[in-house]
Structure 1
Amino acid sequence: MHPIQCRCGAVKGQLESNNTHNRLICHCTDCRAFARFLGNPSAVLDKQGGTEIVQIAQQHLRFLQGEELLSAVRLSDKGMLRWYTSCCSTPIGNTMADSKVSFIGLVHACLDRERMDRDFGAEIAVLNTDTALGDPQPKQRGLVGVIARFIWIVVTNRIGGGYRKSPLFDASGLPRVVPKVLKPEELASLKVDA
């Protein structure tokens, strides 16, 4: 089990880490906007604006305390659900709004950095490098493997019914909290790169 915890310790959980997963760094502008929305981008983003993420099936995630402190935001009315804690604005992860697409991209800020290599392997894919900050931009790597494992996670959980065991969606498939949806001008202000 890999521990999950927010910065202040009010939200704790665990993740079965020995299942199919992806470990990657995403340099997309949406991940940067989410980090800025939470108010502490330096705790989430690397020097080139990348966010390290572990993608895994939601059914392998368990909250042990503080579930009532989970919140969600959508960067647009059709955007992903981006989960975080209301107590200390720690990012938890990203999911699709459809509970049947049952993966979560857990943001490294809620994971145990000292155990990342042991629990998820040292191989890290690098994606969306065309929007990375700085020069030179990093080179993209590992995309094919990420796509293949992502499809495996989603399809096997859809066929096997594992998507029904998500701690983030209720039995009817709705998110356990009503997400805040950002207005276009709010999102635009979060996407301004200094």
Structure 2
Amino acid sequence: MNFSGWLEKRGGQDATKGWKKRWCTLSDNTFKYFKNDSDSSPAGIIYCEDIDEVAIHVQEVQKDISKHGFTFKIVTKGRTYLFNAVSNAKRDEWIKAIQDLISAHKEEPQTPTLLYTTVEIFCGQKPAIRVNGDISTELMMQLNSSTTKTIQDDRGWFAELSTTHTTILNLFNQHGWSLMTAFACSSVPSNSTTAAHSDMMILTKPNYK
């Protein structure tokens, strides 16, 4: 969306100073105001994700309708901005354009971050499993229900448990995890001081928070 035009802006952090003309634009999820329409650097930027409200500023309209009777406010988390248009129609156009920009920004699909966890399966004389990562409480409860011999240390959750790669993958898949890679390695189980052969799986899960 691209929208631009001249507005008057009331100065000061608390919008109590005088009114000055500003060239205002809407694009790229931002509301920018410039001292002149030829300026390349804005005098101020309001990001749409910071806007809590856009509405007619009734108090200003009632106080001085002859000069600034077409005022609207942009309320952010840290400040309230006052702008005045040349007519009711223009004011309403600006309010709608800003609201549409906010709605479009909220509807944009989020790009998730990835959560990672490692699952190490020891398949020797003492079968065991070690999980290290940000897994859900529900998944942890399911893992705990399979055994009573568990250890929690700085290397993760460890349990003496005989299982298969397929069983573990199916369980993690049910909770949204996907296998990224797997490889053979050697490490020390949490219940031993001697290194043992193991199979390491690295799993990922999209996080939309």
TM-score after normalising by structure 1: 0.22
Bigger radius of gyration among the two = 2
Instruction: Please identify which structure carries the higher helix content.
Output: 1
Identify which of structures 1 and 2 has the higher relative contact order when contacts are C-alpha pairs closer than 8 Å and 6+ apart: 1
TM-score after normalising by structure 2: 0.21
Instruction: Please identify which structure carries the higher strand content.
Output: 2
